[in-house]
Amino acid sequence: MKHISILVPESAVLDSITAPRYLFTAINNFLARAGNPPLFDVHLVGLTREVRLHDGLFSVHPDLLMAETAKTDLVIIPALFGDLPSAIESNKDFVPWIQAQALASKFSIGRRNFERRFKKATNNTPVEYIQRVKIEAAKKGLESSRKNVNEVMYEVGYSDVKAFRSVFKKVTGLSPIEYRNKYRFPHTSRS
């Protein structure tokens, strides 16, 4: 059984916590209905027993504290929004988990071996995975809010407009504005 730890940092984008949890638990549920044992032991991991997100609008209650997590095969790092320097500061105790070298040493494997295993498990390098999580959060922001592209970009942790637009287009095939125009409002067909 693979142990999956989904980090619950302050200033996290809620969907980037709930979506991976749903994915792994849905796979376990599918296997259970087929009479097979689960593949994943999924835990939300936090620094405190309650993490308040989006100015206290939502509360997440992690299953485990970081100090209680003895073993994990994969750590999922959600996208952060808002002021990135203060988000990083408020979550600095997660930093040893986030850095690939620290992760590799925590599990007694080399950095390259860690990155290879990470890529095998997620089909992305750690950097690509973080970019994809941020872009997924940006897509949700562009679909459902009235914020402009720069505001969404800052919320998901980018500060360089050119880098954000480049990664967004690479992941989605569309520029952020094209994406918003295509997915913001439901399209209706005329008869």
Nearest-angstrom CA–CA distance, 33 and 168: 37
126 DSSP β-pair partners: none
The model's pLDDT over 120-178, given as tens digits with 9 standing for 90+, comes to 877 888 778 888 888 988 998 898 888 899 999 988 888 888 889 999 999 999 999 99
The residue among 61 and 103 whose pLDDT is bigger is 61
Q: Residue 99: is its pLDDT beyond 70?
A: no
Among candidates 190, 163, 191, 189, which has minimal Cα distance to 176?
163
- How many CB atoms are closer than 10 A to CB 33? 8
Mean pLDDT of the residues in the chain: 83
At residue 191, the pLDDT reads 41
CATH of 2-98, one of 3.30.930.10, 3.40.50.80, 3.40.50.300, 3.40.50.880: 3.40.50.880
Query: Would you list the domain boundaries of the chain?
Result: 2-98, 130-183
**Residues whose CB is less than 8 angstroms from the CB of residue 41 and which lie 6 or more positions away in sequence, other chains included:** 1, 2, 3, 4
Provide the pLDDT for residue 102: 66
Second CATH level (architecture) for the domain 130-183 = Orthogonal Bundle (1.10)
pLDDT score at 100:
63
- Report residue 188's pLDDT band, with 50, 70 and 90 as the boundaries: very low
Pair of tokens at residue 175: 């520029």
